[in-house]
Amino acid sequence: MIHVVASITVREGQVSRYIDIVKALNPHVLTEEGCVAYLPTIDLPTGLAAQALNANRVTIIEKWRSLEDLMAHFSTPHMLAYREKVKDIVEKISIEVLTEA
């Protein structure tokens, strides 16, 4: 099983727009071969000292059956269209690809 934590920082004031785009994308991703979970999330203020909040960040939590499935995901037509839609509002992307220890 592959776990992905994709942190996307968007331009100020664009979080709602970005989330709408991801929510429209979500049903397509969930039908992909090997996709187990694809969930957009935002920071929840907790008061924990170690928490680094960012109001302009959307983190997508993903789970895939294999690395091959994840890699195929990046070249699907809906992901290519997604990248085109968000290219002017995304400032930074950080992706962690993890497996169980």
The CATH number for 23's domain is 3.30.70.100
Q: From its phi and psi, is residue 32 left (phi > 0), alpha (psi between -120 and 50) or beta?
A: beta
H or E element in which residue 81 lies: helix 77-86
Rounded to whole angstroms, how far apart are CA atoms 25 and 48? 32
Domain total for the chain?
1
Rounded to whole angstroms, how far apart are CA atoms 91 and 27? 25
Rounded to whole angstroms, how far apart are CA atoms 58 and 19? 8
- Domain coverage including residue 74: 2-44+53-99
Whole-prediction pTM: 0.92
What is the pLDDT of the chain when averaged over all its residues?
97
H or E element in which residue 19 lies: helix 15-30
pLDDT in tens, 48-79: 999 999 999 999 999 999 999 999 999 999 99
Rounded to whole angstroms, how far apart are CA atoms 4 and 37? 10
